[in-house]
A and B are shown apart, each in its own frame.
Chain A
Amino acid sequence: MFIEFFYILKAKGLDISMTEWLTLMEALDKGLVGSNFSQFYYVSRMILVKSESDYDKFDMAFMEYFKNIQSEDAIPPQLKDWLDKGEEMEVDHQNAEMYAFNQQKNADEVKRMFRERLMEQNSEHNGGNHWIGTSGGSSFGHHGRTVGGIRIGEQGGMQSAFQVMSERKYEDFRNDKVLNMRQYQVAFRRLRQYSSRLDVPKTELDIDKTIDKTCNNGGYLQLEFERPRKNTVKLLLLFDCGGTMIPFMNLCNELFQAVHKANHFKDVQTYYFHNCIYSKVYKTAECEMGDWVDLDYLFKHYDKDYKVIIVGDAQMAPEELFDKNGNYKGPNDGLSGYEWCQLLNSKYKKCVWMNPRYHTQRSAVTWMESEDALSELFHMYTLSVDGLKEAITYLLKTK
């Protein structure tokens, strides 16, 4: 009975085992449901779904299977709420207008205009609105006001310069500096989940058992050994090495070293990206072309239990995040940066985004479309000791 429902639930991504399904059948057999539709909804949910975060998936599957039931009374109130919310969930287009001007200038056009103007211009211009220079409203240069322009060297004034077209000197995080990172280390101490079911030899003296055995042995010593309890937490770190991150180099450095000095993790993998995550991630902080691996490689080699910590300021231009050709430093492979981020987030059970420049005040600034989108996708925290503690609490929590 209802076998179709079982497959719809599976298709919606609910991990339901035969045991649970048979339990539901048993409940039906025992007449626990009666002929009450609401009751069937509750009973099937309490048996099949084991996390409140999956309630929504369950509701969707339930709607799909029972959509032909007309009676209004028969639909449980939760489902009605869910249907109501559907309208609210429509995309908010308001923000889009703000970027209308810059969206007209797509990536290619900005690049083309840059080349043209570079050819036309032959003197230094600072403060103007057209030529490449500093502090102006032109799309090119540095310390500028225009969102989505091309930045040339220096730190971004208004943060969203589209591209950094000069060579950055980005220090590799691995340089062993003496830094005051104790607080980070203490925070990472909490990131542990113990298991003694690991496949390692019994090497640790088990004092309790030794005492037991010795006592049983009439007081003659008999040693007992146990498998050591190991932390099972595996980490995948992704660092943003884009230009806007330069001011936070020290902060990232501290975080990076805290992770590597904390030797209690089962495994730590580190990769780098430039501004946004695309189809490839770099092996070193220099982000040199070719020195990379596919994101798919990460998906294959590091299973879903890896806890992902992304460190970045999420200050990419909307084009860099949403355009299918937004990656100017490497291939996009058919997906936009945002879609790659979505993939990453759906592959791993636990992802957090640590943002050194996280804006908790949502309204004051205008260039945050990317940050908004990413903070909705990922659990985003400020890169600070407190933020890290919060992130770790989330990483250890149930879904």
Chain B
Amino acid sequence: MVAKFTGSKDYVASEELMAAVDVAVALQKPLLIKGEPGTGKTMLAEAISQSMNKELYIWNIKSTTKAQDGLYVYDTIQRLYDSQFGEEGVDDIAHYIKLGKLGEAFKADKQVILLIDEIDKADLEFPNDLLWELDKMEFYIHETKETVKAKERPIVVITSNAEKELPDAFLRRCIFHYIAFPDREQMTEIVNAHFENLEENVLKNALDTFYWIRSIKDIRKKPSTSELIDWIHALTLSGVSTDKLREELPFIGVLLKKDEDLEALKKAKLY
């Protein structure tokens, strides 16, 4: 029977998102998560791992990451060095094969969660290079003539910031979920999950100001959930009165990072 995902203590998941996780697990397909920055895409995998009590492997993708890096790396240079000094074990290639995150997840004895974070950062063809491995959950190490095959198919969660388009062939194999920006009700829940005993009027004033700032058209980088949480943290730690939050805007640098945006905020305040 499939373990149901219900969110966790610190992570508030919408009904849709929970359904998406369940379907992805049941159909054994990768779950592709897209959404605005700061909507908790990366945290989802942590929450799944906690709630299902499974180990989490994180593969962070950078612009230079290649598909091969996730499978295994054959450290030929080390072998060359070692051979020059006649080190022991040089004749054993397996000694120099280092598994990547994908390889580690496949080799694990129990079912694990594999997070491929920000897949759109990599080369355009990167997702296509992983099609076979994610479909079959196995790959072949040519040097040692060994096949690494997952004993238990890992639950794969992939996040994307929509910086680049992902190839169709890859998309077809995924379950897709878009995390919309949380509305006030959800946001209240999220904030409450992070703070114990937060005063009601602090929360109300902070949310009022937060959504007001997000509604200002000229602001380019809109503050996100994680910034709101940092801001509330700063407010509560400093003990500033929040009655005139919108007029005084203390610690506003936590919410807005760009000079232009601060200017735009000043302008909006005049009206």
Contact = CB atoms under 8 A, between A and B. Distances in A.
A39 B163 CA distance: 30
A396 B172 contact: no
B175 interface: yes
A218 B173 CA distance: 42
A397 interface: yes
A46 interface: yes
Interface string B211-239: 00000000000000000000000000000
A197 B125 contact: yes
A49 B80 contact: no
Contacts, number: 84
Given A19-B172, A39-B19, A43-B19, A30 B26 contact: yes
A12 to B, nearest CB: 17
B172 A52 contact: no
Contact of B125 (A19, A47, A196, A396): A196
Nearest to A39: B19
Interface size class of A (residues with CB under 8 A): 20 to 34
A43 to B, nearest CB: 6
Interface in A11-45: 15, 17, 19-20, 23, 26-27, 30, 32, 39, 42-43
A261 interface: no
A348 interface: no
Contact of B168 (A15, A39, A49, A211): A15
Interface in B1-50: 15-16, 19-20, 22-23, 26-27, 29, 32, 34
B29 A23 contact: yes
A20 B172 contact: yes
B34 A19 contact: no
A47 B23 contact: yes
Interface string B121-132: 001110000000
B194 interface: no
Contact of A46 (B79, B124, B173, B177): B177
Nearest to A229: B123
Contacts of B19: 39, 42-43, 46
Contact of A55 (B83, B172, B178): B178
Contacts of B83: 219
Contacts of B178: 52, 55
Interface string B161-180: 01111101001111111101
A396 B77 CA distance: 37
B76 A194 contact: no
Nearest to A38: B15
B165 A398 contact: yes
Interface in A179-237: 193-197, 211-212, 215-216, 219, 232
Interface centre among B123, B165, B173, B174 (most CB of A within 10 A): B165
B118 interface: no
B120 interface: yes
Interface in B144-188: 160, 162-166, 168, 171-178, 180
A46 B176 contact: yes
Contacts of A30: 26-27
A399 interface: yes
A215 B79 contact: yes
Contacts of B165: 397-399
Contact of A397 (B16, B27, B163): B163
Contacts of B125: 195-197
A193 B163 CA distance: 11
Interface centre among A26, A50, A196 (most CB of B within 10 A): A50
Contact of A17 (B34, B172, B174): B172
Contact of B175 (A47, A51, A396, A399): A47
Contacts of B162: 397-398
Contact of A193 (B26, B124, B160, B174): B124
B184 to A, nearest CB: 15
A17 B169 CA distance: 10
Given A52-B34, A396-B163, A27 B23 contact: yes
20 contacts: A17-B168, A17-B172, A27-B23, A42-B20, A46-B19, A46-B23, A47-B23, A47-B176, A49-B176, A195-B123, A196-B125, A215-B79, A216-B76, A219-B80, A397-B163, A398-B120, A398-B160, A398-B162, A398-B163, A398-B164
What are the 5 tightest A-B residue pairs by CB atom distance, in nearest-first order?
A: A52-B178, A398-B162, A50-B171, A215-B76, A215-B80
Interface of A: 15, 17, 19-20, 23, 26-27, 30, 32, 39, 42-43, 46-47, 49-52, 55, 193-197, 211-212, 215-216, 219, 232, 396-399
Given A26-B27, A193-B164, A194-B124, 14 more contacts: A27-B23, A42-B16, A46-B20, A46-B175, A52-B34, A193-B124, A195-B125, A196-B125, A212-B74, A219-B83, A396-B163, A397-B162, A398-B160, A398-B166
